[in-house]
């Protein structure tokens, strides 16, 4: 309960910080996509989430952390406990101090959170031309249109139109506020090799990683929908009981 509340608070804070940037410029509205988790009975597509994790690991994790998501949470994506241990071990995390009072690096454990690829914010900015790569844990809830926006951003890189002045070191993106983004186009066709044989087009990778980031931001979405359905059934039954009780109580007065 506390974890869910903390995620909600952090998402609200992120939305508040992002509002000025989103309001700037004439930004196109991301086209609505068909997501397996949409609607009152929607669920996450596990195969899609696993592909999305692969895109995050092989592409996004080079710059972006997910400090609010633990490796053990990947069991909810469909990975086995052994697979989670193996996946965690491919990351290096800071630990310590050791007996000599020094910090050290070790392979990740399922209980660890996804680490940042940079030791601190200054190092991150220095490696990215002054831009700071956002943590992606809550990005799908912190941006308007959520996964639609992420997918549109990842596929929205184009040549700047005639007359548009593009800043030095920036890239034109149709869906980014102001259309100038420091992040170069991250996805290219066949950039990853999916284990299930799915063709890794830019659109497919963008869709998969957007689904994965939606899961990262709201991992209990399916539980919430199931609980909501149960509550609705309970309310319908309770309404019927109240109506029957009312008719029985007031029957003698008619």
Length of the chain: 254
Per-residue pLDDT of the chain (254 residues; tens, 9 = 90+): 445 444 544 444 443 444 334 344 567 899 999 999 999 999 999 999 999 999 999 999 999 999 999 999 999 999 999 999 999 999 999 888 888 888 889 999 999 999 999 989 999 999 988 889 999 999 999 999 999 999 999 999 999 999 999 999 899 999 999 999 999 999 999 999 999 999 999 999 999 999 999 999 999 999 999 998 889 999 999 999 988 888 888 877 75
- The pLDDT of residue 99: 85
Beta carbons within 8 Å of 93's beta carbon, 6+ residues apart: 105, 106, 107, 108, 109, 112, 115
Beta carbons within 8 Å of 149's beta carbon, 6+ residues apart: 30, 143, 175
Neighbours of 78 (CB within 10 A): 15
Sign of torsion over alpha carbons 17, 8, 222, 51: positive
- The pLDDT of residue 102: 86
Residue 233, helix vs strand vs coil: helix
- The pLDDT of residue 180: 95
Q: What DSSP line would sit under 6-53, residue for residue?
A: HHHHHHHHHHHHHHHHHHSS-PPPPPP---TT-STT----HHHHHHHH
- The pLDDT of residue 83: 96
Beta carbons within 8 Å of 183's beta carbon, 6+ residues apart: 63, 128, 131, 133, 171
Long-range contacts of 116-121 (CB under 8 A, 24+ apart): 116/65, 116/67, 117/61, 117/62, 117/63, 117/64, 117/65
Lookup: tokens for 167? 């800043």
Lookup: tokens for 217? 């931001």
């Amino acid at each position: 309960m506390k974890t869910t509340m903390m995620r909600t608070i952090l998402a609200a804070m992120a939305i508040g910080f992002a509002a000025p940037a989103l309001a700037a410029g004439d930004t196109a509205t991301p086209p609505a996509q068909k997501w397996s988790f949409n609607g009152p009975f929607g669920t996450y597509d596990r195969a899609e989430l696993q592909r999305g994790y692969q895109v995050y690991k092989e592409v996004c994790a080079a710059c972006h952390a997910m400090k609010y998501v633990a490796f053990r949470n990947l069991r909810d994506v469909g990975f086995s406990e052994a697979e989670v241990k193996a996946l965690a071990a491919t990351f290096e995390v800071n630990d310590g101090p050791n007996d000599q009072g020094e910090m050290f690096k070790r392979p990740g454990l399922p209980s660890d959170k996804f680490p940042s690829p940079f030791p601190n914010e200054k190092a991150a900015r220095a490696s990215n031309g002054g831009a700071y790569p956002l943590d992606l844990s809550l990005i799908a809830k912190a941006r308007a249109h959520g996964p639609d926006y992420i997918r549109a951003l990842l596929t929205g890189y184009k040549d700047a139109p005639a007359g548009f002045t593009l800043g030095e070191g920036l890239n034109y993106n149709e869906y980014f506020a102001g259309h100038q983004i420091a992040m170069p186009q991250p996805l290219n066709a066949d950039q990853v090799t999916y284990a299930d044989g799915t063709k890794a087009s830019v659109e497919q990778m963008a869709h998969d990683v957007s689904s994965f980031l939606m899961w990262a931001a709201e991992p209990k979405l399916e539980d919430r929908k199931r609980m909501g359905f149960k509550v609705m059934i309970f309310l319908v039954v309770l309404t019927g009981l109240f109506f029957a009780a009312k008719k029985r109580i007031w029957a003698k007065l008619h």
